[in-house]
A and B are shown apart, each in its own frame.
Chain A
Amino acid sequence: MAEVKGELQTQEFELNMGPQHPSTHGVYRARLTLDGEKVVKVENIIGYLHRGIEKLAEDRTYTQFIPYTDRLDYLSGMLNNLGYVQTVEKALGIEVPERAEYLRVIMAELSRMASHMVAIASFVLDVSGWTAWFPPFRERERILDLFEMTCGSRMTVSYMRIGGVAADIPPEFLPALKSLLDDLPQFIEQMHALISGNEIFIGRCKGVGKLDIETALAYGVTGPNLRASGLPFDLRKAQPYGCYDRFEFDIPVLTNGDSYDRYLIRLLEIEQSARIIRQAMESLPDGEIMAKVPRVIKLPPGDYYHQIEASKGILGFYLVSDGGTKPYRLHIHSPSFVNLGAIPKLTEGSLIQDFVVTFASIDIVLGDVDR
C-alpha cells in the first residue's frame, strides 16, 4: 500500500438552506458553512417576503393601514392589529369603551394561543415528531373558527378599529369559547403524553441552542424566548396596556434557555392566556364597542411609540406624523426580526439537525421579519 504523505485534507463547504426548504418556515435562507455535519458559520439572509409595508403606510390613511398589520405576523393578526390601533389611540388620546377593551383582550389572547400552537406544532415537526403536529393544529382550528364567526376572517382578521373593535361577538361565540377552554387541559396533557417526555425528543432538544440572559438581552431577544432563559419580563405586567392590569395571571419562567424550555414555555403560556380569557369572559361588560372617533383621523405633528407583548416578543409601532391624514413615517419593531438575529450565535458549532431544532424553537414568522 502506498504511504499517505501528510494528513488527509478535509474541506468546508457552503450549503444554501432555503428559501425553499421544508424547515425554514417560509422563505428564510441560511447560508451555512459546514464541516461535514457540523455547522461552522451561519449567515441569515432575509428579504424574500419584503412587501414594503412600512413604505406603504406612508400612502395610506391611519385607518386604511389596519389590514396591512394582519400581514406582518400572519399567525397572530389580532395582536398586530392591537399594537397598531393602540399606537394611534395613544397619540389621539381616545378612550376605548369597556366592552371593546375586554373583547380586545379575549381576541388578543386567543391569537397568542393560536400562534403558540403553530410554534409548538412546527417545532415538534422539525424534530420529526409527525404525530404531535396534529393536536395543536386541531385546537388552533377551533380558535380560527371563533375568529371567523366574529369578523368573517380566519387569519387576516382586521378586527380592531381605532377606538374599538369592528363587530360585537355573536351569541354562539361564548359557548364555543368556553368549550375550547375546557378542552385545553386535555390538549396540553396530550402534548405531554405524546412528545414532551419522549426520550429521543428530550435528547434532541435539551441543552440545544442554549441562550443565557446576558446574550438574550444583548441581542434584544424578547417574548417567550427571553422568559425561557430565566427573565420574567412581560410587557403585560411591566407596562400594562389596555385593561391587562385588571387580570390575574402569572409569567411562566424557565431557566435553562434551551430549545426544550422554549418549547415548554409556550405550553405554559397557553395555560396563562386561557386564565386571562376566563376572567375576561366572566366580567365581560355590556355597552358600546366603538368610541366616538373623528371621521378623518389626523395625528398632531410629532412622533409616537407604543409597544405590546405580541406572541413572539415585543411588537412596537413608531409613528411619525406631520399633521396630515397619513403617517409621515412608520417603523415596526418586529419581534421575529430581532429574535432572528440571535440564530447564528446560538447555532454555530452545532450539528445541522440542531440548527433546524434551534431555528424552530426561536419561532419566527417571515412576514414579520421582512415586513
Chain B
Amino acid sequence: MAIEGIFTAIIEFCQGLLAGTPSWLQTLGLGVLYLVGVLAFVFLNVLYLIYLERKLSAYVQERIGPNRFGPHGLLQSIADAVKILGKEDITPRGADKWVYIIAPIVIFIPATMLYAVIPFGKDLIAADLNIGVFYFLAVASTTTIAILMGGWSSNNKYSLLGAMRAVAQIISYEIPLAFSIVGVVMLAGSLQTSQIVAAQEGTWNIVLQPLAFIIFFIAANAEINRGPFDLVEGEQEIVAGPYVDYTAMRFGMFYLSEYANLLSMSALAVTLFLGGWHGPWLPSWLWFFIKLYIMIYIFMWVRWTFPRIRIDHLMGFNWKVLLPLSLANILVTGVGIKIYQLITIGRW
C-alpha cells in the first residue's frame, strides 16, 4: 500500500538528495531528519495531549472542558503555550543558579532521546539498537537526576521534599519495571525492540504475559509520576514539589517532558505488550498510533479516577507486592518456555 510506506519513502527521498555526498554528511543529514521528525512528533503530541487530558478529565467529571478558543477549544494548548512563553523568568534568590537553569534542559533531553528505539511502524525506527530496551530504561532513569537537580537548586523546602520523594519513588519502581520487561525479553529472545515486535506477530505479549503487563503498567505510572503515584508533585501537600519555583518556559520544559514521558512510556508499552505495529488492513504506523492513544487514554483514565497513594504505602506496595510478583513472573515464564519447548520440539 502507498500509505504504508509514506514515512520510509520520505526517508529514502532524503537519502536520494544526499546521494553522492561524503558519508559523514549522509549520516548527519539523516540524524537531523530523525531528530526533526521526533521533535515534531513530541511537540505536536504534547500540545494535544494536554488538551486531551483536560478534555478527558472534564468528561470523567461531567464537565465540558476547554471550549472557548478554536472549535471545541482545539487551540487552547497553543494559547497556553504562548502564555507560558510570555511569563517572567524568575530565578529565586539563594538558588543554586547554574543547576537551577540546567535542570529543565537536562530533563527534556532524555525525554526526546527515548524515541530513538521506538519502532513506529514497519522499518520505521530511528536507531535499531540491539540493546534497545536496555537503552530505553537507562535513559529514562536519568529523569531522576534532573528532578533532583531542580528540587535541590530551588532552595525551597517544598521542592526538596518533592525531589526526595522523586528519588525514592522512581528508583524503587524502576526495579519491578525492569523485571516485568524481562519476561517479554525472554519470550522474544532479544533486547532489540524490532525483534520484540517481530516476535509478537502471532500472539501479543499481553496474552502471554498478563501479569507482567499489569506490573509494567503500575510501575510505569509511578515512573512517570502520574495517576495515583504523583507524589513528586503532590499538590495538596507539597504544592508542586520540585517545580514550585520554576516559572515561564523552564516550568514549561518540565511540563513538556512530563507528557513526553507519558508518550514514550505508552509507546514502550505498545511495543512490548500490545504487538507494536502489528495489525490487519491498516498501515502499520497507523496501528501503532491507535494502540498508543488507547494506552495513553488508560493512563489518563487511571489518573482521574484514583486518589493519591501515601508514601509509605507506595514503598510497601513496591517492595512487598510488585517486586515478588515480578520475580515470580520471571520464574513462571522461564518454566513455561521450557515446557513449551518440550511439547513442540520434544526436548528442553
Contacts and interface: CB of A to CB of B under 8 A. Distances in A.
B62 interface: yes
Interface stretch (B40-48, B193-201, B206-214, B229-237): B229-237
B61 A130 contact: yes
A352 B161 contact: yes
Contact of B310 (A15, A21, A195, A204): A204
Interface string A341-371: 0000000000111111000000000000000
Nearest to B57: A130
Interface stretch (A87-95, A119-127, A139-147, A308-316): A119-127
B307 A37 contact: no
A129 interface: yes
B308 A37 contact: no
A354 B310 CA distance: 8
A356 B161 CA distance: 15
A201 interface: yes
Contacts of A22: 235-236, 239
A351 B313 CA distance: 12
A353 B306 contact: no
Contacts of A126: 236
A128 B60 contact: no
B161 A37 contact: yes
Given A203-B313, A352-B238, A356-B237, A15 B164 contact: no
B34 interface: no
Contacts of B312: 351
A21 B61 CA distance: 24
A204 B307 contact: yes
B174 to A, nearest CB: 21
Contacts of A125: 236
A131 B305 contact: yes
A126 B310 CA distance: 12
B308 A21 contact: no
B109 interface: no
A25 to B, nearest CB: 11
A34 B311 CA distance: 15
A29 to B, nearest CB: 14
A129 B60 CA distance: 12
B306 to A, nearest CB: 6
Interface residues of B, number: 28
A128 B307 contact: yes
Contacts of B161: 15, 34, 37, 352
Contacts of B239: 21-22
A47 interface: no
Nearest to A360: B236
A203 B309 contact: yes
A90 to B, nearest CB: 42
Nearest to A36: B164
Nearest to A129: B307
A203 B314 CA distance: 11
Interface in A1-50: 13, 15, 21-23, 34, 36-37
A13 B157 contact: yes
Contacts of B347: none
B319 interface: no
Contact of A200 (B236, B237, B304, B309): B309
A37 B60 CA distance: 32
B307 A195 contact: yes
A189 to B, nearest CB: 15
B228 to A, nearest CB: 6
Contacts of A201: 307
A63 interface: no
B63 interface: yes
Interface centre among A124, A131, A201 (most CB of B within 10 A): A131
A18 B308 CA distance: 21
A352 B307 contact: no
A119 to B, nearest CB: 15
Interface string A150-172: 00000000000000000000000
A173 interface: no
Interface in B105-161: 157-158, 161
A198 interface: yes
A353 B61 contact: no
A204 B313 CA distance: 9
A99 B344 CA distance: 87
A283 to B, nearest CB: 36
Contacts of B237: 23, 352-353, 355-356
Interface string B160-185: 01001100000000000000000000
Contacts of B311: 37, 351, 353
Of A124, A125, A198, A352, chain B has the most CB atoms within 10 Å of the CB of A352
Contacts of A128: 228, 230, 234-236, 307-308
A129 B310 contact: no
Interface string B270-313: 00000000000000000000000000000000001111111111
Given A125-B236, A200-B309, 15 more contacts: A13-B157, A15-B157, A37-B165, A127-B236, A130-B57, A130-B61, A134-B63, A195-B307, A200-B308, A200-B313, A201-B307, A204-B309, A351-B312, A352-B237, A356-B237
27 contacts: A21-B239, A23-B236, A34-B161, A37-B165, A127-B236, A127-B307, A128-B230, A128-B236, A128-B307, A129-B307, A130-B61, A131-B57, A131-B61, A131-B305, A134-B61, A134-B63, A198-B306, A198-B307, A200-B228, A200-B313, A203-B309, A203-B310, A204-B308, A204-B313, A352-B238, A353-B234, A353-B311
Interface of A: 13, 15, 21-23, 34, 36-37, 124-131, 133-134, 138, 195, 198, 200-201, 203-204, 351-356
Interface of B: 57, 60-63, 157-158, 161, 164-165, 228, 230, 234-239, 304-313
* The 10 A-B residue pairs with the shortest CB-CB distance in the complex, in nearest-first order: A128-B308, A129-B307, A127-B307, A23-B236, A128-B307, A134-B61, A126-B236, A352-B237, A201-B307, A15-B157
